[in-house]
């Protein structure tokens, strides 16, 4: 069955959505869709696995702990986030869906 990364999410979104596309013992591939959502103030992501993430549509700003410069992402941009590298989403585009493809692996 053919699916599309840009279909299947609600027009109006209160919360960010995440959907596992492929999952094995060694990796998890997921689609994340944001619409203006951010990491709550004072919180950081601290993941047990490595993450490679590419932005497919929209735009976003990531901040890594200990860094002062915001990593601004646009379609086609990708970043590798090592396990336990604390980071947060400072902003996502509120005017259009920000679609991410994230590969989590050990």
Return the higher-pLDDT residue of 91 and 8.
91
State the Cα–Cα distance between residues 21 and 40, nearest whole angstrom: 26
Q: Residue 41 belongs to a domain with what CATH number?
A: 2.60.120.10
d(C-alpha 49, C-alpha 58), whole Å: 25
Assess if residue 4 is contained within a domain. no
Per-residue pLDDT tens digits for 16-59? 999 999 999 999 999 999 999 999 999 999 999 999 999 999 99
Nearest CA-CA partner of 102 in 67, 40, 60: 60
Q: How many domains does the chain have?
A: 1
Q: Does the residue 84 lie in any domain?
A: yes
H/E stretch holding 80 reads strand 78-81
| Residue 52 within any structural domain of the chain | yes
> Whole-prediction pTM value?
0.91
- Residue 6 within a domain: no
Radius of gyration of the chain (CA): 14
Domain for residue 11, yes or no? no
Q: Is residue 57 part of a domain?
A: yes
1 falls within a domain: no
Give the structural domain span for 58: 17-105
């Amino acid at each position: 069955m053919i699916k599309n990364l840009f279909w299947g999410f609600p027009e109006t979104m209160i919360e960010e959505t995440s959907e596992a596309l492929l999952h094995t013992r060694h990796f998890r591939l997921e689609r994340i869709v944001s619409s203006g959502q951010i990491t709550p103030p004072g919180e950081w992501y601290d993941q047990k696995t490595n993450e490679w993430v590419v932005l497919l549509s929209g735009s976003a700003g990531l901040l890594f702990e200990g860094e002062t410069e915001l990593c601004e992402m646009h379609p086609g941009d990708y970043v590798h986030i090592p396990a336990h590298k604390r980071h947060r989403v400072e902003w996502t585009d509120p005017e259009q869906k920000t679609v991410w493809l994230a590969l989590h692996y050990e």
